[in-house]
């Protein structure tokens, strides 16, 4: 802001600058910083040390591979040919289990393992179950056969399937099918809802 001052001698007119608040602030800052000296280096160490990188995706993939491998039961002769299979995780309501056993839940898909080797069946299960969960299927039928065509007439796939399905997170419960749907040669499998 500029202001004019008229002096006693009217022939001379001078202009003086009135100090502003900005100038006062700058002068005050200079006074306060008079004894401050710059730091020799401007690099400051991090507040926290960086964590070492973890290959999270690779660890998840390795876990999935181990899960897909599904271990086999120790002895193949633990189940008799005509024996029914029944399994449910803790928390499954008895009424829901009753409906599953009676075949009252609608089967939305099925997988036929007839004539597959144990390795082929294991791979088929490892692909089928996650796909059905992602597709929103809740009840499926898996046909494993009764083992009449296998060596020693043992139901090899039935025994292995009983063991594999218990290891799968997607499976909430399973039981042998009604005679009209394959009886002890097939299973009804209840799958958990896919996370959205």
Task: Kindly report the pTM of this predicted structure.
Answer: 0.60
CATH class held by domain 84-191: alpha beta
Residue 73 CA to residue 61 CA, distance in Å, equals: 24
C-alpha angle 163-72-60 in degrees, rounded to nearest 5: 90
Angle in degrees, 0-180, between the axes of helices 118-134 and 56-69, rounded to the nearest 10:
120
Domain boundaries, the chain: 2-30, 84-191
- Can you tell me the distance from the alpha carbon of 171 to that of 190, in angstroms, rounded to the nearest whole number? 6
Q: What is the pLDDT of residues 115-170, one digit of tens each?
A: 888 889 999 999 999 999 989 999 999 999 887 777 676 788 888 899 899 988 89
pLDDT digits (tens, 9 = 90+) for 56-91: 877 777 777 666 666 665 554 444 445 889 999 999
**The two structure tokens encoding residue 99:** 């409906």
């Amino acid at each position: 802001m500029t202001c004019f001052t008229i002096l006693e001698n009217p022939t001379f007119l001078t202009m003086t600058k009135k100090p502003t608040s900005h100038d006062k602030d700058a002068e005050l800052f200079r006074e306060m910083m008079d004894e401050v000296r710059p730091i020799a280096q401007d690099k400051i160490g991090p507040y926290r040390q960086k964590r070492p990188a973890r290959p999270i995706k690779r660890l998840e993939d390795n876990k999935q591979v181990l899960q897909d491998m599904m271990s086999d039961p120790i002895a193949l002769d633990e189940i008799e040919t005509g024996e029914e299979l029944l399994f449910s995780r803790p928390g499954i309501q008895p009424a829901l289990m009753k409906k599953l056993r009676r075949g009252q839940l609608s089967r939305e898909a099925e997988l036929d393992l007839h004539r597959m080797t144990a390795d082929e069946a294991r791979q088929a299960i490892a692909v089928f179950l996650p796909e059905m969960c992602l597709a929103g299927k809740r009840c499926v039928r898996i046909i494993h056969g009764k083992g009449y065509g296998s060596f020693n007439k043992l139901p090899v796939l039935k025994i292995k399937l009983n063991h594999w399905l218990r290891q799968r997170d997607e499976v909430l419960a399973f039981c042998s099918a009604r005679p009209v749907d394959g009886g002890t040669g097939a299973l009804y499998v209840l799958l958990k809802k896919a996370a959205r």
